[in-house]
Amino acid sequence: MSTATPNTDRIVKTFLELVQIDSPSKQEAAVADYIEQRLALLGVKMWRDNAGEKIGGNCGNLHVRVPASGSSSPALLFSAHLDSVMPCLGIKPRVEDGVIRSDGTTVLGADDKAGVTAVIETLRCVKESGMPHGPIEVIFDVSEETGLLGANKVDLTTVTAKCAFVLDGEELDRIVFRSPSANRMNYEIDGVAAHAGMYPERGVSTIEVFAEAVSKMKLGRLDPDSTANIGTVNAGRATNIVADKLTATAEARSHSQDVLEAQTRHMSQCFEEAVRRFTKSVDDKTVAPVFRAQVRREFNAMNIALDSLAYRLALEAGRAVGLDMQPMSIGGGTNANVYNEKGLPAVVIGCGMKDEHTTSEHLYIRDLEMSVKLCLMILRKNHEFSL
C-alpha cells in the first residue's frame, strides 16, 4: 500500500504565507480565515467554537473533520496552535540553503505555524492520494502561548478520536509522553509612600521588600524535574517617591505534585518573612507592608503509557519513515497536557522548529517535510493496526 508524497514547494509556500499573517495570542482570526480558505477546497467540515468569546479573543478554536475512507480504523486527532509569541508582528521570512528564518527582528512563528502547515499538507495529501484512513479530526487551538487557553475551552464531547497527536515539538525522533504540572502566581505588595528625599524613613519600599524575598528564594532548576521563575515585576511611580505598589508574576513547575505545592508555599513564605522584616514603627504607629498572592493551576502533568495507542502509532510510524523514535520527558506544557487531563490520550510529536521564542528561531525545510511524512504514516499505521 502506497502512502501519499508531500509536495515540498507547496509546503514552503504555505508556511511562508502563514508566518506573514499576524496572529499573537487572542488575535488569531486572520490565520483561521486563511486555513478555512485553503481547506475549503478539500470539501472538509469546519467550524469555530466559542473559545474566543470565553477568553476575550477574536477567534475560537478551528475544528476540522474528515470522514473515513476505505478503513475501519478509529478516529485520530491532530492538533496545532494558531498563535505565536511576541515579537510576532510583521514577520519577514527568508529562505537560505534549505533553512527558513526571520529577518532577526521578530520570531519566525514556526511555533506553531510549522505544525499548522504540516497538518494542512497532510490533509491535502490524504485527499489527493485516496489513501485509506479512519476518521481524521483536527483542532487548531487559539491562545496556547498564554496558558493553553483555547485547549482548555475545547468541548471533547464533540471529539470521537481515540488519541491525539499535538504537533508542537522540536525533534522529529522524539515522542513527548511526559511533562509537568505548573502553578502560575500573581503577587501584590502594598507599601507606604513617602518623599524619598525628605522623609524616606517614613516609607516602606515594596521594591526592597520584593528584593529581600527573592534573595531568599529557591529559583531556577530546583531538581531534575522541577523549576521556578519570577517572570515580571512592576513597581514605583517616580524616583522621589518610596515605591508603595508592586506587582509580580511567577511560576513553578514539577512532575511531582508534592514538590510543586512545597515550592509554591516556599515562594509565598519568602514574601511573608520579608513583610515581617520590613514592619516598623513610625511616629509610635506600626507600619507594615501587605502581601497578597493568587495561585492558579495552569496545567496538570501528563505521563502517557508507552503501550498506549498514541505512543505506539507514533513509534511505528517514525520507524517506518526512518526515524529512531525515543520517549522524551520535558519541562514545558503543551495542549497535550490539557487533552490528557480531559481524557483524550495525547502525545507531542515534532515539526522541526528550532530556537523557538527567540528572534533566532528557524526551521529546516527537510524537517517540516518529514513531519508531514510522519503524520501520513501515523494514519497508515492506524489503518494497518485495524486490519
Q: State residue 3's pLDDT score.
A: 63
312 and 174 in a common domain: yes
Whole-Å CA distances, 93 to 29, 83, 111: 21, 17, 14
164 and 29 in a common domain: yes
130 and 229 in a common domain: no
CATH value at residue 268: 3.30.70.360
Range of the domain at 270: 181-298
Among the listed residues 49, 83, 171, 208, the single catalytic one is 83
Residue with grid cell 514545558, as numbered in its chain = 332
The residue out of 239, 266, 298 marking a domain boundary is 298
Residue 229 inside a domain? The answer is: yes
E-state strands within 157-284: 163-169, 174-179, 181-190, 220-223, 226-235, 245-254, 280-282
Helices (H) and strands (E) in the chain, counts: 10, 20
CATH value at residue 25: 3.40.630.10
The residue out of 298, 317, 337 marking a domain boundary is 298
Residue 40 inside a domain? The answer is: yes
143 and 95 in a common domain: yes
Known catalytic residue at 22: no
249 and 124 in a common domain: no
Residue 3 inside a domain? The answer is: no
For the stretch 243-294, pLDDT in tens is: 999 999 999 999 999 999 999 999 999 999 999 999 998 888 888 999 999 9
State how many domains the chain has.
2
Q: State residue 284's pLDDT score.
A: 83
219 and 337 in a common domain: no
Among the listed residues 112, 141, 144, 251, the single catalytic one is 144
The residue out of 298, 320, 341 marking a domain boundary is 298
238 and 196 in a common domain: yes
For the stretch 111-152, pLDDT in tens is: 999 999 999 999 999 999 999 999 999 999 999 999 899 999
Residue 100 inside a domain? The answer is: yes
For the stretch 160-183, pLDDT in tens is: 999 999 999 999 999 999 999 999
144 and 29 in a common domain: yes
166 and 61 in a common domain: yes
- 47-61 average pLDDT score: 97
Q: What does residue 282 show for φ and ψ, rounded to 5 degrees?
A: -130, 120
124 and 23 in a common domain: yes
Residue 189 inside a domain? The answer is: yes
What letter would DSSP give residue 58? S
Residue 2 inside a domain? The answer is: no
| Predicted TM-score (pTM) of this structure | 0.89
Known catalytic residue at 251: no
Residue 75 inside a domain? The answer is: yes
The CA distance from 124 to 274, in Å, is 59
Residue 145 inside a domain? The answer is: yes
123 and 175 in a common domain: yes
32 and 138 in a common domain: yes
